């Protein structure tokens, strides 16, 4: 029997999402000639699209599911920063945004001509230390009115103070979920659950030659950093959860696969909403796996609603 959370209960669950927020921007147009300035095509843009990315997409996923989401992050004093704020507000995601005047709000701009991506242009630089330190007190203020904390680490520097933030969440008895990046997991000490994908985990424990070796290394990593659960997302192989009681695995649920990008965001957002509703990690895991299976069957929209998940 899989656990179910009522719509009413979920609507009261509040998830605080902290991390690197991004704006995914797409410029579409026709290519009719080559530039006289350089041997490059000229794209005449006739359509623009903007989507929430990174931690902002994770917060959106929490909200679309029917729970309450707050995004705490740092943005620049620029047009993409204002856009990000507007998009979040329109979707009903609460925001705690720190402004860093020397920061580029992270933008990934794709220029697409004749249905082909011609270039991707990234705007990003490291946030200022003082501004990040200032976010700590705002985080402390936000903590009591949330039921779970989700850290979405895209390695862009927004989570410099994550060890302290985890400590504060633990002291407040809030479950802590982390989508990790990089090979230093000591910064995630004390988390409730970390959700690496296969490549991310292999970066930390090396490759594995079979299930037995994977289990041994995953459990060792988890214990080393005092993490209650390690949830390995395994794309078409579903997911495996390692905890103090041992190990459980669920097979992938997707019927058709169209677009796998963002599946990891949907999985951790679902997991966080379920933990915030009071479910255990073991009960939440198959629900998150189902959400992952649904989202990879969609093109474009990278979120799953309550009805899709439970009805
Ligand atoms: N090809 C697939 N077939 C079936 N299910 C899939 C597939 N890819 C992903 N999923 C589902 O989504 C979950 C997360 O996928 P994955 O392990 O690829 O995460 P990820 O690499 O972090 O994703 P991303 O970084 O693109 O958001 C899987 O555990 C599974 O439930
Ligand atoms: Mg991922």
Among all bound ligands, the one having the nearest atom to the CA of 57 is 1
CA of 196 to the centre of ligand 2 (A): 7
Euclidean distance between the first and the last CA atom of the chain, given in angstroms as a whole number: 15
pLDDT digits (tens, 9 = 90+) for 90-100: 999 999 999 99
- Over pLDDT 70: what percentage of the chain? 99
Q: What mean pLDDT comes out for the span 143-159? A: 96
Nearby residues of 21 by Cβ (< 8 Å), 6 or more positions away: 52, 53, 54, 55, 56, 71, 73, 75, 84, 105, 106, 158
Return d(Cα 267, Cα 130) in angstroms, integer: 32
Q: Is the CB of 231 under 6 A from ligand 1?
A: no
Split at pLDDT 50, 70, 90, the class of 249 is very high
pLDDT digits (tens, 9 = 90+) for 3-17: 889 999 999 999 999
CB 248 within 8 A of CB 231: no
The pLDDT assigned to 137 comes to: 96
pLDDT digits (tens, 9 = 90+) for 29-59: 999 999 999 999 999 999 999 999 999 999 9
pLDDT higher than 60, residue 309: yes
CB 309 within 8 A of CB 40: no
Q: What mean pLDDT comes out for the span 243-270? A: 93
Split at pLDDT 50, 70, 90, the class of 1 is low
Which domains occur in the chain, in start order?
Answer: 7-22+54-104+125-302 (3.40.1190.20)
The pLDDT assigned to 261 comes to: 87
Q: What mean pLDDT comes out for the span 119-123? A: 97
Give the active site residues: 265
CB 283 within 8 A of CB 243: no
Both tokens assigned to 282:
């073991």
CA of 215 to the centre of ligand 1 (A): 20
Q: Is the CB of 262 under 6 A from ligand 1?
A: yes
Q: Is the CB of 254 under 6 A from ligand 1?
A: yes
Cα four-point dihedral sign 231, 157, 138, 265 = negative
The pLDDT assigned to 84 comes to: 98
CB 152 within 8 A of CB 144: no
Q: Is the CB of 265 under 6 A from ligand 1?
A: yes
Task: For the chain, count helices (H), then strands (E).
Answer: 10, 13
Cα Rg of the chain (Å, integer)? 20
The residue among 154, 161, 147, 242 whose CA lies nearest residue 194 is 242
Cα four-point dihedral sign 54, 55, 58, 63 = negative
The pLDDT assigned to 172 comes to: 98
Strand residue runs (E) in the chain: 14-19, 21-34, 41-54, 68-76, 94-100, 107-113, 116-123, 148-152, 176-179, 193-194, 229-233, 239-243, 246-250
Ligand 1, residue 198: give the atom nearest the CA: 17
How much is the mean pLDDT over the chain? 96
Ligand 1, residue 261: give the atom nearest the CA: 26
Ligand 1, residue 266: give the atom nearest the CA: 27
Return d(Cα 89, Cα 92) in angstroms, integer: 5
- Over pLDDT 90: what percentage of the chain? 93
The pLDDT assigned to 311 comes to: 83
CA of 292 to the centre of ligand 1 (A): 6
SS3 state of residue 299: coil
Split at pLDDT 50, 70, 90, the class of 125 is very high
The residue among 140, 138, 120, 15 whose CA lies nearest residue 74 is 138
For a substitution probing ligand 1, which of 238, 248, 292 has the most ligand atoms within 8 Å of its CB? 292
């Amino acid at each position: 029997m899989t656990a179910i959370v009522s719509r009413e209960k979920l609507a009261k669950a509040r998830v605080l999402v902290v991390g690197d927020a991004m704006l995914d921007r797409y410029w579409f147009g026709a290519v009719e000639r080559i530039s006289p300035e350089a041997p490059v095509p000229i794209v005449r843009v006739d359509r623009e699209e903007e989507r929430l990315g990174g931690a902002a997409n994770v917060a959106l996923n929490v909200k679309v599911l029917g729970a309450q989401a707050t995004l705490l992050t740092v943005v620049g004093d620029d047009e993409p920063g204002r856009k990000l704020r507007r998009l979040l507000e329109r979707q009903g995601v609460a925001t705690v945004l720190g402004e860093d005047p020397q920061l580029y709000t992270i933008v990934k701009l794709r220029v697409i001509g004749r249905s082909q991506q011609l270039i991707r242009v990234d705007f990003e630089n490291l946030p200022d230390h003082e501004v990040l330190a200032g976010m700590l007190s705002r985080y402390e203020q936000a903590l009591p009115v949330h039921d779970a904390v989700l850290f979405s680490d895209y390695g862009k520097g927004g989570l410099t103070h994550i060890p302290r933030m985890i400590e504060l969440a633990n002291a407040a008895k809030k479950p802590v979920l982390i989508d990790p990046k990089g090979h230093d997991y000591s910064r995630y000490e004390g988390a409730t659950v970390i959700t690496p994908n296969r490549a991310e985990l292999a970066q930390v424990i090396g490759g594995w030659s079979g299930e037995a070796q994977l289990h041994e290394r995953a459990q060792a990593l988890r214990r080393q950093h005092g993490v209650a659960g390690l949830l390995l997302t395994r794309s078409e192989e579903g997911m495996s959860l390692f905890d103090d009681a041992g190990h459980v695995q669920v097979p992938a649920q997707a019927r058709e696969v169209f677009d796998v990008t963002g599946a990891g965001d949907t999985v951790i957002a679902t997991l966080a909403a379920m933990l915030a509703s009071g479910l255990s990690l073991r009960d939440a895991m198959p629900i998150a796996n189902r959400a992952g299976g649904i989202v990879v069957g969609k093109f474009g929209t990278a979120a799953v609603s309550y009805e899709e998940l439970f009805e």
